[in-house]
Amino acid sequence: MSNSVKKRLALSNILALLAILLLLGTYTLKPVFQYRDPVAMDEEDEIEENESFQPFAFLIPEGTESYAPPNKHLKALMGDKIWEYHPTGFYAYLIGYKTMPVWRVSLEAPQYPKASFPDGIPVFFNLTDWSGKVNEMNTINHYIGMNPMESGAVTVRQIIPFIYLLFFIMLIVYLFYKGPGWQLLGLFPAFLPWFYLALYSKWLYWFGHNLQPWGAFKIKPFMPTVFGDGKVAQFTTHSYPAIGFYFLIGVFILLILSVLIRRKALKDAA
């Protein structure tokens, strides 16, 4: 094997290692990038606590407090129990409590003046839960009959830790394996941002087309804006990628380059 081939294979591995670090960041760096209310009265109000993190029950310690969903409809969507669970320490990182914000949605309306709501009503879609002004957003959505945010993609959010574990194993194997099908080990994790965007669009459609009769204001089913600015009743909506999505795009670019460089190097070495 020539030095040129060896150098390109080494470069391919370096790019893959950088992708692994970015992927690890999307799973653990929520404390660095989570939303902090710029007009909060004190530190306690700066970051809203919410119950949108709902892992599989076997990951939750015995004796954790819970309550039942308020009606049969939500019970069917969310399960028998809603856990009041906010893990701490290393375990919080391990089970996916610290995933980064990947997408941001915010609402603006005349009843939310800029002085009190400089960012409108922002909500961040993390990989395993929501953050930001989740309670305020749920209150607004309730008036048009939209399901609470935490009722969406419950199973998808629960399996994220296991998907990430699978991807990390695939990428570690990718660093050393050069047998048949090696490309798939790098390509499948690379497409995570596009998997996310497809699921995000699907669930926005579901929320907009499954309006419930409890809404005080009746509107026709609609497709919420996936990317860009939109209008729903008197609200102006903004929907854009957050920092975590750019991390995932970095993973995509690095892994695609890694695969292409390795493919050419192995072809030249044959």
CA distances from 72 to 80, 140, 206 (A): 9, 21, 18
| pLDDT for 131 | 92
| pLDDT for 205 | 95
Q: Residue 73 carries which DSSP code?
A: H
Residues 6+ apart with CB under 8 A from 73: 212
Summarize the confidence of residues 33-61 as an average pLDDT. 86
Does pLDDT of 121 surpass 80? yes
pLDDT tens profile 235-244: 899 999 999 9
Break the chain into its structural domains and give their ranges.
3-34+89-269
Does pLDDT of 233 surpass 90? no
Question: How much of the chain exceeds pLDDT 70, in percent?
Answer: 99
Give the Cα separation of 231 and 221 in Å (integer): 13
pLDDT tens profile 33-44: 999 988 887 776
Summarize the confidence of residues 252-261 as an average pLDDT. 98
pTM exceeds 0.85 for this model: yes
CA atoms within 13 A on the CB side of 81: 13
Does pLDDT of 96 surpass 80? yes
Summarize the confidence of residues 256-262 as an average pLDDT. 97
| pLDDT for 232 | 79
Residues in the chain: 270
pLDDT tens profile 169-223: 999 999 999 999 999 999 999 999 999 999 999 999 999 999 988 877 788 888 9
